[in-house]
Amino acid sequence: MGESTIVCPACLAENSPFNPRCTRCGALFSEGPHSRATSTEHLLSSRDTSPDTIPSPNPPIDTLGSTVLVSDRNAPAPPAPPITETAIDLRPGRMLGRFEVQGHLGEGAMGVVVRARDPLLNRDVAIKIMQPEALGRLGAETALARLVREAQAMAKIKHPNVVTIHEVDASSGQVLVVMEYVDGRTLRAFCDEKRRPVAELLNAFIQAGKGLSEVHRAGLVHRDFKPDNVLVGADGRVRVTDFGLVGLTQSQAGDDLRNATPNEAAGTSLHAALTRTGSILGTPAYMAPELHRREPADARTDQYAFCVSLWEALAGERPFAGETYDELRANVTGGQLREPPRGAEIPARIRRCLERGLSVSRAGRYPDMDALMAAMQTAGAAEAMDNDGVLADTLVILVEA
């Protein structure tokens, strides 16, 4: 690729330096096209980040990011990506092995996701086309082997609250991860649609918690649990997605996120996933204190992110204030919980469960997600004494299912 082209940070497609948006996925070059990387080598090396720096992902405002398996029936379908010299032909009707491409679902740091038809089993699937070169300095062979290994680990998980991986194919030099297609929306969209009763929110989150617990039993750590990475199907079933492989993405280096407001960093700085070489660091708004200290993630790190997410759903805002990364980090690492806004409905006993899950020390949290779910069941049963048993019945049904 010559120096006259730039690379889209969302889908890695080549573009003219004069294009304000990617011609493949439509991502906005929010800094202006001339400020973007001018070669693949430059782009990939700029995504590497050391453990001692905070990366600045500065993602395009309108890219779908991690929420690529969801089909929002109320939103316009994104345009099918046009073909470039280096892109796989992903136009509707084209074939990926035995799968017929039906439409473009979205872009992620690791590649493209399409909806496709499996004629053999007569079902729709979502296919994530992973690109090993997006792993930067790990090297193509090492990256490919790692992608396959992670995908195989994910495929072993069979649980109603985890997106199912049907198969993995690496015969073309790229990893195709074939997953179940979920018709619905993200948990964030579900929560934002309207004001929902506490029992309904707990219903959804306990399903997600059970799925997250199953991921942990498989020996995986999600590393980026948040409402955007959970899907709510049209049937009401909740599924955790973007686990395992999210730990392999890379991001742009730099530490300008430290003092950037969300608007200054493409409008999503505190909600965009941060990464370092070989593993995900997390999304700042949901990161546990140990991640801010660059310590390894474990299942209790995911538990913390779960509690941030549920607090946010119940209170309408996250438990820790912070308009910049440094402000947020100080409050998180200092355990400075803020009071929910007036009118927020967090039952007292449920709040105590969340506060324990939000402990600064990992040792102060629940030993695992199962323990947290059991505590929430008990708390819900007690709260229901003032709510005609509705809340307790909801929790008992979900935890015992």
Residues identified as active-site: 224
∠ CA 270-262-247, nearest 5°, is 25
∠ CA 43-96-103 to the nearest 5 degrees? 80
- Round to whole Å and give the CA distance between 5 and 336: 47
Return d(Cα 381, Cα 128) in angstroms, integer. 41
Q: Are strands 70-71 and 182-186 parallel, antiparallel or unpaired?
A: parallel
| Angle separating helix axes 299-315 and 348-357, nearest 10 degrees | 150
Contacts of residue 75, defined as CB under 8 A and 6 or more positions apart, other chains included, come to: none
Q: Annotate the chain with three-state secondary structure.
A: CCCCCEECCCCCCEECCCCCECCCCCCECCCCHHHCCCCHHHHHHHHCCCCCCCCCCCCCCCCCCCCCCEECCCCCCCCCCCCCCCCCCCCCCCEECCEEEEEEEEEECCEEEEEEEECCCCEEEEEEEECHHHHHHHCHHHHHHHHHHHHHHHHCCCCCCECCEEEEECCCCCEEEEEECEEEEEHHHHHHHCCCCHHHHHHHHHHHHHHHHHHHHCCCCCCCCCHHHEEEECCCCEEECCCCHHHHCCCCCCCHHHHCCCCCCCCCCCCCCEEECCEEEECHHHCCHHHHCCCCCCHHHHHHHHHHHHHHHHHCCCCCCCCCHHHHHHHHHCCCCCCCCCCCCCCHHHHHHHHHHCCCCHHHCCCCHHHHHHHHHHHHHHHHHHCCCHHHHHHHHHHHC
AA identity, residue 110: M
